A = this chain, B = another copy of it.
Amino acid sequence: MTGKIPYGGDYNPEQWPRDVWDEDHRLFTRAGIDTLTVGVFSWSLTQPAEETYDFTVLDRVLDRAAAEGRQVCLATGTAALPPWLAKKYPEVNRTDFEGRRHRYGQRHNFCPSSPAYRRLSTAMAGRLAERYADHPALLAWHINNEYGGACYCERCADAFRDWLRDRYATLDALNDAWWTTFWSHRYTDWAEIEPPSALTEHWRGPDHTAFQGITLDYFRCTTDALLGCFLAEKEAIRRYDPETPVTTNFMGMFRPLDYHRWAPHLDFASWDSYPPLDAPPTWPALAHDLMRGLKDGAPFWLMEQTPSTTASRDVNPLRRPGELRLATFQAIAHGADAALYFQMRASRGACEKYHGAVIGHAGRDDTRVFGEVADLGKELGLLGDTTLGARTTARTALLFDWDSWWALDISDGPSRLVKYQEVVHTYYRAAREAGADVDVVPQTADLTAYDVVLAPVLHMVKGDLAGRLEAVAARGGSVLTTFLSGRVDAHDRAFLTDVPGPLAPLMGVRVDECDARQPEIAQSIPELGSEARLVFEIVQPRGAEPVATYGGDFYAGTPAVTRNAWGDGEAWYVATALDQPGVDQVIRRILTRHDLLGPYADHPAVETATRVAPDGTRILFVLNHATEAAPLTAPATVTDLLTGKRAEKGAPLALDPLGVAVLRLLS
């Protein structure tokens, strides 16, 4: 790598004549762009027929990049099939949830169990590695693209049966895990098992299943099947290139794949950030921290973001002036060591032609967007290598668990309206706006480094987690969990004990009943001056003390929030979906106990994040998400790496609207 944050993005010169290439590189230089993601959609070009490989164009792209001093993130391009392949091997086309075998079209549509796909995709990866392993432009390998989706063909059904045989060994074990005696489902032959789909166990779509256990296992099996495709390509690359780091671009909080199962197999994590409309800044931040958590806190790449607008939504607003810069520095603040766009030049045709690009259809360099991209390129140059490899040293952990997400989303009862991501985000946001750095980690993570562990809506509790949470509290830490936690084991079987199951001793509560109400019905929580909605567990304290209570209904006066002393620490239980102000109060009480409020905790629109460079340099990012200026003071003696200015502790530190400061902490 060069000694600075790689900057650039997806580049598809194969769509354009050669004179456009010249113009591209002239503009890249103007914008400080040094890194190009190449080949994501080039399979139909590099292999126009099964027996024909043609790397002429790719050679030129990489050679030109090298000649211009740019580095290349080289994609294997196996996410978008060439037409001949789909025609010759119909098996590569997926069979969808409705049981329909698709024909050629779109992308991300290959059956992960297809032998032809496996053979041809690994052959391509191998050929690319053989050819470019030593190319001077090569910076990293980018396998496939945005893995996702599922297939329900006969081959995948067989693969599912094999996966189950590996997992359960016997049908008795499987019948027990899935609780098949319910609804007369006891299997007597592996061949009787069908993938859970609209034609078998599901109704009203993918989230309504007769057997949660079957559907959860299919989610896991699909995760592993696509991971298998990735690993096969990686192995093919490694045959020729033992060194260059390998990644694939994730999609943040992406439900279909449990990225925690993938994480060990990546050399570094990378992801594409397209936050939903009107998402608060903590939404992409949560995803950044989740991605950083994949590799135990190692930096990740921001592999894609749009420089201006998306195209795929019903409504696609522009990023306002300054928003791109702010979002990019936010990514870096949370651990990004690269900042890349989709895409360098706008496609002329098809469904992404109106997607934002660094260079628009008219090829201009005097647009607002190009100007902002180029200005940002200069700033990243100023940062140099300061942030590369830097790590976050959070004392707060938030458990993020795909199994719980899945289990909650497909659960019948008590309420379909509870959304895992939203509840998790509420707690994350409270901690972040209070100024705490947060590691977002799996259930299996080592928790010994944390003072605070938040485990909201942890529906499924696996392995020895309860004991490890108890240890956190025992040594003085604070643990929080919420309603709908501790309900089921790894097979989605209810624990045969009081709710919240294995967490009940630590929490010091017992829950027999959970009320659910329509979203327009709010419960007041008088002690917090806040409201709660959707679900209301009725808590009987078993050692815990009530912190806040329900203001109404037949459970008026019973606890809505409790705290339980445990060793030197404490355990919090939140029995209902508090609104954000309610969660804020709970989280700030916990953070205060551990002295974890940040310097700008009273400025909720001001985000801070700290990274520590390999050489020990501490860098404080201060991000003003408001459209008004933020009149702050320096929290320590600092030097702003973007302006070079120094400020003593307590001196004014004014941030512009949407402004950013990258401060080296000197004291």
The reply to whether B360 and A192 contact each other, CB–CB distance below 8 Å, is no
Please state the number of chain copies in the assembly: 3
Knowing A192-B104, A414-B309, the reply to whether A513 touches B369 (Cβ < 8 A) is yes
Asked if B179 contacts A347 (CB within 8 A), the reply is yes
Q: Provide the residues of chain B in CB contact with A516, threshold 8 Å.
A: 309, 315-318
Are A106 and B308 neighbours in the complex by a CB distance under 8 Å? no
Closest to A180 in B: B44
Instruction: Decide if A87 touches B192 in the complex (CB within 8 Å).
Output: yes
Contact partners of A497 in chain B: CB under 8 A? 361-362
Stretch at the interface among A136-144, A375-383, A488-496, A632-640: A488-496
Q: Which residues of B contact A199 (CB under 8 A)?
A: 100-103, 105
CB neighbours of A41 from chain B (8 A): 181-184
Docked complex Cα distance between A51 and B77 (Å): 53
Separation of A211 and B347 alpha carbons in the complex (Å): 12
Contacts of A362 in B (CB 8 A): 496-499, 512
Given known pairs A194-B105, A196-B105, the reply for A182 and B350 (CB within 8 Å) is yes
Q: Does A580 contact B (CB under 8 A)?
A: no
Residue of B nearest to A511 (CB): B362
- Asked if B310 and A496 make an inter-chain contact with CB atoms under 8 angstroms apart, the answer reads no
Distance to closest chain B CB from A177 (angstroms): 8
Whether A59 sits at the interface, judged by CB under 8 Å, is no
Query: Which B residues touch A198, using CB under 8 A?
Result: 100
Interface residue? A56 (CB, 8 A): no
> Quick one: closest B residue to A14, CB to CB?
B181
Shortest Cβ gap from A104 to chain B (Å): 5
In the assembled complex, A130 has its CB within 8 A of some CB on chain B? no
- From residue 364 to 420 of chain A, which have CB atoms closer than 8 A to chain B? 364, 367-369, 411-417
**Residue contact A315 to B417, C-beta cutoff 8 Å:** yes
Residue among A181, A493, A512 with max Cβ neighbours from chain B (10 Å): A181
Q: Restricting to A67-99, which residues have a CB under 8 Å from any CB of B?
A: 77, 80-84, 86-87, 98-99
Q: B82, B189, B314, B416: which contacts A186 (Cβ < 8 A)?
A: B82
Q: Residues 197-230 of chain A: 1 if any B CB is under 8 Å from the residue's CB, otherwise 0?
A: 0111111000011111100000000000000000
- Write out the residue numbers on chain B whose beta carbons fall within 8 Å of the beta carbon of A495: 361
**A184–B349 touching, CB < 8 Å:** no
Question: With A and B bound together, what is the CA distance between A308 and B80 in angstroms?
Answer: 51
Chain B residues, CB < 8 A from A517:
315, 317
Identify which of B98, B210, B316 contacts A105 (C-beta below 8 A).
B210
Q: Give the residue of B82, B182, B413 whose beta carbon is less than 8 angstroms from that of A310.
A: B413
Query: Which residues of A in the span 135-187 have a Cβ within 8 Å of any Cβ on B?
Result: 178-187
Interface check A348, CB cutoff 8 A: yes
In the bound complex, do residue A368 and residue B315 qualify as a contact, i.e. CB atoms below 8 Å apart? no
User: Across the interface, do A209 and B314 meet the contact criterion of CB distance under 8 Å?
Assistant: no
0/1 interface trace, chain A 648-660, chain B, CB 8 Å (1 if under): 0000000000000
- Asked if A45 is at the interface (CB within 8 A of a chain B CB), the reply is yes
Q: Give min CB distance, A312 to chain B, whole Å.
A: 5
CB–CB A351/B211 < 8 A: yes
State which residues 406-447 of A face B: CB under 8 Å. 411-417
For A203, the closest partner residue in chain B by CB is B106
Cα–Cα distance between A423 and B348 once the two chains are bound (Å)? 25
Determine the distance from Cα of A351 to Cα of B368 in the docked complex, in whole angstroms. 54
Q: Identify 10 new A-B residue pairs, CB closer than 8 A, beyond the known A210-B351, A351-B412, A362-B499.
A: A14-B181, A42-B184, A100-B198, A105-B201, A106-B210, A209-B351, A309-B513, A349-B491, A353-B494, A361-B496
Instruction: List 30 interface pairs A-B (beta carbons < 8 Å), by A numbering.
Output: A41-B182, A43-B184, A44-B184, A44-B188, A48-B186, A83-B188, A83-B193, A103-B194, A105-B202, A105-B210, A107-B184, A178-B350, A183-B350, A209-B351, A211-B350, A212-B353, A311-B414, A313-B413, A315-B416, A315-B518, A315-B534, A316-B414, A318-B516, A348-B493, A351-B412, A355-B413, A362-B496, A362-B497, A362-B498, A364-B498
The 10 A-B pairs of least Cβ separation, nearest first, read: A179-B349, A354-B413, A311-B413, A105-B200, A80-B184, A83-B192, A105-B201, A44-B186, A314-B416, A44-B184
